[in-house]
Amino acid sequence: MKVAKFGGSSVANANQIKKVAAIIQEDADRRIIVVSAPGKRDQDDTKVTDLLIDLADACLAGQNGERELTDVIIRYQSIAEELELNLQIIETIEADLRKRISHPKENQEQFMDLIKASGEDNNAKLIAAYLQSIGLHANYMNPKDAGLLVSEQPGNAQVLPEAYEHLKQLNDRDDIIVFPGFFGYSKSGTLCTFPRGGSDITGSILAAGVKADLYENFTDVDSVFAANPTVVKEPVKIKKMTYREMRELSYAGFSVFHDEALIPAFKNSIPVCIKNTNNPTSTGTMIIAEREYFLNPVIGIAADEGFSAIYVRKYLMNREVGFGRRLLQILEDECLSYEHIPSGIDDTTIILRQDQLNPENEERIVKRISAELDVDDVHIEHDFAMIMIVGEGMHNTIGLVARATAALANANVNIEMLNQGSSEVSLGLAVNEKDTKASIKALYDEFFGGVKEETVQ
């Protein structure tokens, strides 16, 4: 049993959907197919999800949304016509959309979820119809009918434990199941979407529920790369990596997976393979529980921008019992989450996402820390990037930190903060955003510059 998820670029038009069908036909074990909403057909195109957001916004603004609705329907119609499908499927999609936009709008978040999720839902119906038209025993599956239960948190739904028991029943089916990604239903019957990367999360949940032998995630690249190919020219491909490595890299800006997507597969020891819809014979990248790391202790380098730092200094801070708790309590009172807290005997720095801050809460935070903790200095700085060096073998490698800092020094990059987690799977370095690309290039040259192979494992 394989669960195969196809992302937005893989189902963006009729030609891509034909490739998906060929991949399904090539392996009879691919029996659960998770699909996204149609993505961009080219660089200047608009994703269906974005068209649906425009539709929802128009409806919430009191407009009838007819123009926005027509844009969505035309997109599906163009796909259906190129696939030579009976246009009854478009009537079904239009009826579904009209029913959704007539839904009560008092809870705007729920309404937005309802409209956005139609992208995946209706694309699953269309793809199931196409698979049937070419002779495959395939059927659309509604997540509610499958029992995909989630918490009632619009835009941030979490799978409920009992969902896995319900999904287990899909093993008894002998047809190909076409399952929409991105959403589930609460116990009260409310549709709720997953966070960013929601279709990946759906695929991971289904793979765990049916105890799949493999979860395949089809996208538009041959594999995961050791660094961003838009920054580093022709970076090496990663042949094998662990769940922890993938999660660290995803958190730090790798766009292949959202960092939460693999958790269901990880907890159930389901191997994951990243593959290319446009080149399905490529071996891709396998994500597994453990790997041999003695050849390459570092597996990848990632970067994410948009961080701020709260600097706090107080003489003999290390001897003051409860100082850290009271400092974090101030952040909690402001509903702020943090990413890193490197600390010394008289100083501590709190790294957090910059989009959580604004002039008002910054002023409150500084005043409270200064008054309540009687510190010598507190100030906030912005526009930092977090550079993450990731690899399971780092904890057994002598001199790795020295190599990283020397590489950045040679590139004339100033390190604002250095933090190595207790797991020692990653090393985080904060730099100014203007130095992001230079940092990635310098670290890649240091750790992969001598790698002759096309792939690392």
Q: Is 168 annotated in some ligand binding site?
A: no
Enter the tokens of residue 15: 């030609």
CA-based nearest residue to 449, from 226, 254, 276, 240: 226
In the chain, the amino acid numbered 200 is D
CA dihedral 267, 268, 271, 277 (to 10 degrees): -90
Question: What is the rounded distance in angstroms from the CA atom of residue 201 to the CA atom of residue 5?
Answer: 10
User: By the 8 A CB rule, do 243 and 274 touch?
Assistant: no
Residue 383: helix, strand or coil by DSSP? strand
Place of tokens 């390190």: 415
Strand 347-353 and strand 300-313: the pairing is antiparallel
Query: SS3 of 414, please?
Result: coil
455 labelled ligand-binding:
no
d(CA 16, CA 208): 27
| Joined tokens for residue 298 | 């570092």
Residue 348, marked binder: no
Could you tell me which of 152, 259, 161 has the C-alpha nearest to residue 205? 161
Ramachandran class of 356: left when φ > 0, alpha when ψ lies in -120 to 50, beta otherwise: alpha
DSSP per-residue string spanning 53-118: HHHHHHHHTT---HHHHHHHHHHHHHHHHHTT--THHHHHHHHHHHHHHTS--SSHHHHHHHHHHH
349 marked ligand binding residue? no
* DSSP state letters, 295-321: S-S--EEEEEEEEEEEEEE-TTGGGST
Residue 5 counted as an annotated binding residue = yes
Rounded Cα gap, residues 359 and 207, in angstroms: 44
- Report the alpha-carbon distance of residue 217 to residue 38 in Å, rounded: 16
CA distance 136 to 104: 38
CB atoms within 10 A of CB 53: 16
The DSSP result for 116-150, as a single string, is HHHHHHHHHHHHHHHHHHTT--EEE--HHHHT-BB
Cβ-contact 416, 382 below 8 angstroms: no
Which residue carries 């190909």 as its tokens? 176
340 forms bridges with which residues in the sheet?
351
- According to the annotation, is 92 in a ligand binding site? no
* 441 and 229 Cβ atoms separated by less than 8 Å: no
Residues annotated within a binding site for substrate? 49, 120
Residues annotated within a binding site? 5-8, 49, 120, 219-220
Residues annotated within a binding site for ATP? 5-8, 219-220
